[in-house]
Structure 1
């Protein structure tokens, strides 16, 4: 996956992500509510991407990693419905045609 020059949360204008299969995803919503993040992580049809190094280095999350990822994020989510003062993770929704959704989780270490 292509790296970002900065985390998606701080980028202006249209933000896109090109995955390994050549599919182009467009940033649809930033700073998702905690409940939306939980639903998307648990939905096997929704790809999950982990943004390492402050959110700039994306990698696809394998299906068997989702439970571990969720256990990390649920106690330290920085966005709406989470713990903004002590959290370190933010999540955003990317979309691609036709009607596909992707969850992007930034790790703000």
Structure 2
């Protein structure tokens, strides 16, 4: 999966992510509400990408990691609906044709 020069939250203009299968994903919504994040993370049909190193180094998570990711971010989410304005996680929605969604979680350690 391609790396970003900066995290998607800080990027201006159109943001695209090319995955390992050659699918081009376009950033659709930044800073998702935590309730939306929970729904997307729990939906096994929605790819979940973890952005290490401040959100610049993405990797697709495994099915087994999904619950671990949710447990990690739910109490330290700094986006809308989160309880921690100084938290370290943000999530964004990317889309690809036809009608596919992906959730991207930035880890700001």
**What TM-score, normalized to structure 2?**
0.98
| Greater mean alpha carbon deviation, residues 75-84 or residues 59-68 | 75-84
Report 1:61-100 matches (<5 A).
61-100=61-100
Shift in Å, 1:85: 2.4
Shift in Å, 1:84: 4.1
- The question of 1:39 aligning with 2:49 is answered no
SS in 2 for 1:4: coil
Question: Residues 38-58 of structure 1, C-alpha deviation per residue, up to 9 Å, x if partnerless?
Answer: 000000000000000000000
| Greater mean alpha carbon deviation, residues 46-55 or residues 75-84 | 75-84
Measured on the aligned residues, the alpha-carbon RMSD in Å equals 0.7
- The question of 1:59 aligning with 2:67 is answered no
Q: Which runs of 4+ in 1 moved over 6 A?
A: none
CA distance in 2, matches of 1:28, 1:47: 15
CA distance in 2, matches of 1:83, 1:41: 18
Structure 1, unaligned runs of 5 or more? none
Conserved? CA contact 2:77–2:85, under 8 Å:
no
Aligned length: 109
SS in 2 for 1:101: strand
Question: Residues 39-81 of structure 1, C-alpha deviation per residue, up to 9 Å, x if partnerless?
Answer: 0000000000000000000000100000111100001001000
Structure 2, unaligned runs of 5 or more? none
CA distance in 1, matches of 2:69, 2:25: 22
**What TM-score, normalized to structure 1?**
0.98
CA distance in 2, matches of 1:98, 1:85: 35
